[in-house]
């Protein structure tokens, strides 16, 4: 063979064209368009493969665009990754922005004045008809203050907190910082791992000792009541489900809740707040399908909210409530919020699932705002005692909860 190779090629014998055994029926013999059966099948296979690859490409684009496999990444989650990299008072604020807040509204702003941090309420970030008396917003600020204090102590500051100072209306607290010893508590270490876990919980009970330890976290003027007996849990679960139905039937509440729903990846990254499908407590596969399929409508979101609440209420190992003497007092709401955050961090540090359950208190305030007869407060007081500020459930989660988006320090500093 010469340097130019000789290659065997398929060239059909013109005398065999049209032979049934080797050509595709229906092709005109001698038309020049005859195709061998093998080649026809090859082309069909390649065509089918092309269709599937194109479909896979479209699916991949949608999944990529919706952040499938990229959960917890991007600028909306930088605050969770970077919070330990700050120094001085900013280190405390970097922890404060990771606190729990109703609907993940993060209704806070901060200012650093020398060795003092001022905590402001950002009332433009309320949940509207869901929080007409600003109870949840104030409790959320209390949660932020607790993180702030824990992080300040870990940064070597001794703190002095003044709640509800009588100056500007939106200034809810000042935290004075003085040089002190470094105190790194287990609660501080749990700050970035804390999540509201909305998955079903297992049948495992919560030991009495755990509830006692959590109750010990309450401050003077606050308390923690537990509903762990089956009859109490069932009664509280019924109240929860009724409150959720009432929420869905109240269009203003439904609309104001949905306003904080982030249905696509770009919204999550742009807003860095609100709720999204990663936080609903669904299995990874269902979560992925929820992201790939078209965005949900408000009514569908309400239905899912009810279904999830029924499951969550049904699988709670115990419900807890934080109580204060006067749930209408800003100072006591902030104090109760601090306790709530402390409970959540303790649960996180001890691998206990924890979820805030706001539906009943939201309906209590909504009925009060509208002048409706009391439907929920009486039964709740009968179950948990007076002064209920906020409720939660605990248990052993079946699904790991995902990180929620956060506004960074630079966006909350005044």
Partner 1 sequence: MSTHLTRTRRLGRAAAGLTAVAGLIEIVVGANSWTGDKSQPTTLGLLTVVLAAVMATAATVTGRERTSGSSLAIAAGLAVPALISLTTAGRLAVPGALLGVVAGGFALADARRRGSVRRSIAHAWPTVLVAVLAVIYLAFGAVAGPIGILGIAGAGAAVGALSIRHRSRRVAAAVLVVGVIPFAVVAWWSVVVPLTAVLLLVVELPRLLSSPRPVSAAAHASSGGPVVDRRIR
Rounded Cα gap, residues 19 and 336, in angstroms: 88
Length of the chain, please? 414
CB of 358 to partner 1, least distance (A): 29
Q: What order of strands is seen across the sheet that includes strand 171-179?
A: 108-113, 116-121, 171-179, 157-163
- Phi then psi for residue 22, to 5 deg, are -125, -10
149: part of which helix (H) or strand (E)? helix 135-154
CB of 352 to partner 1, least distance (A): 25
Question: With contact defined as beta carbons under 8 Å apart, do 340 and 392 qualify?
Answer: yes
Looking at the Cβ atoms of 289 and 370, the one nearer to partner 1 is 289
CB of 279 to partner 1, least distance (A): 17
Looking at the Cβ atoms of 182 and 285, the one nearer to partner 1 is 285
CB of 269 to partner 1, least distance (A): 4
Looking at the Cβ atoms of 7 and 182, the one nearer to partner 1 is 7
Looking at the Cβ atoms of 18 and 88, the one nearer to partner 1 is 18
Q: Tokens 């790939």 label which residue?
A: 292
Positions that interact with partner 1 (CB under 8 A): 2, 4-13, 46, 49-50, 52-53, 56-57, 59-60, 63-64, 68-70, 73-75, 266, 269-270, 283-285, 287-289, 292
Looking at the Cβ atoms of 52 and 205, the one nearer to partner 1 is 52
Rounded Cα gap, residues 176 and 173, in angstroms: 10
Looking at the Cβ atoms of 51 and 212, the one nearer to partner 1 is 51
CB of 192 to partner 1, least distance (A): 16
Rounded Cα gap, residues 260 and 85, in angstroms: 29
Q: What order of strands is seen across the sheet that includes strand 318-324?
A: 222-227, 318-324, 388-395, 353-356
CB of 350 to partner 1, least distance (A): 26
Looking at the Cβ atoms of 36 and 381, the one nearer to partner 1 is 36
What contacts 102, CB < 8 A, 6 or more positions away? 127, 130, 131, 136, 137, 139, 140, 356, 358
Rounded Cα gap, residues 213 and 385, in angstroms: 20
Looking at the Cβ atoms of 244 and 404, the one nearer to partner 1 is 404
CB of 64 to partner 1, least distance (A): 6
How far does the chain reach from its first CA to its final CA, in angstroms?
83
Nearest partner of 121 among 112, 111, 132, judged by Cα: 111
Q: Tokens 């499951």 label which residue?
A: 311
């Amino acid at each position: 063979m010469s340097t130019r190779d000789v290659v065997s090629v398929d060239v059909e014998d013109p005398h065999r064209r049209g032979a049934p055994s080797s050509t595709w029926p229906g092709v005109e013999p001698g038309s020049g368009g005859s195709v061998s059966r093998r080649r026809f099948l090859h082309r069909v296979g390649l065509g089918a493969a092309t269709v599937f690859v194109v479909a896979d490409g479209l699916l991949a684009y949608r999944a990529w665009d919706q952040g499938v496999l990229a959960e917890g990444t991007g600028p909306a989650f930088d605050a969770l990754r970077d919070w330990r990299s700050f120094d001085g008072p900013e280190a405390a604020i970097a922890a404060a922005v990771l606190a729990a807040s109703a609907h993940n509204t993060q209704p806070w702003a901060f200012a650093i004045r020398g060795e003092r941090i001022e905590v402001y309420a950002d009332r433009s970030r309320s949940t509207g008809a869901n929080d007409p008396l600003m109870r949840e917003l104030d409790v959320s600020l209390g949660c932020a203050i607790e993180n702030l204090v824990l992080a300040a102590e870990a940064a070597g500051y001794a703190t002095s907190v003044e709640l509800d100072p009588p100056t500007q209306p939106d200034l809810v607290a000042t935290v004075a910082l003085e040089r002190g010893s470094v105190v790194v508590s287990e609660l501080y270490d749990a700050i970035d791992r804390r999540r509201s876990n909305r998955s079903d919980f297992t049948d495992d009970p919560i030991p009495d000792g755990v509830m006692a330890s959590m109750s010990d976290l309450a401050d003077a003027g606050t308390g923690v009541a537990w509903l762990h007996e089956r009859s109490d849990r069932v009664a509280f679960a019924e109240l929860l489900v009724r409150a959720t139905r009432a929420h869905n039937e109240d269009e203003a509440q439904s609309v104001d809740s949905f306003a904080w729903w982030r249905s696509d990846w770009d919204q999550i990254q742009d807003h860095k707040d609100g709720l999204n499908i990663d936080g609903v407590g669904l299995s990874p596969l269902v979560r992925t399908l929820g992201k790939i399929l078209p965005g949900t409508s408000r009514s569908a979101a309400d239905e899912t909210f009810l279904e999830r609440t029924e499951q969550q209420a049904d699988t709670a190992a115990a419900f807890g409530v934080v109580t204060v003497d006067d749930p209408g007092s800003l100072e006591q709401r902030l104090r109760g919020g601090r306790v709530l955050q402390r409970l959540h961090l303790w649960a996180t540090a001890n691998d206990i699932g924890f979820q805030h359950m706001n539906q009943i208190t939201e309906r209590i305030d909504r009925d009060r705002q509208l002048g409706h007869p009391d439907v929920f407060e009486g039964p709740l007081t009968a179950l948990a005692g007076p002064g209920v500020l906020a409720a939660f459930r605990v248990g052993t989660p079946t699904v790991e909860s995902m990180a929620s988006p956060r506004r960074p320090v630079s966006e909350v500093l005044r």
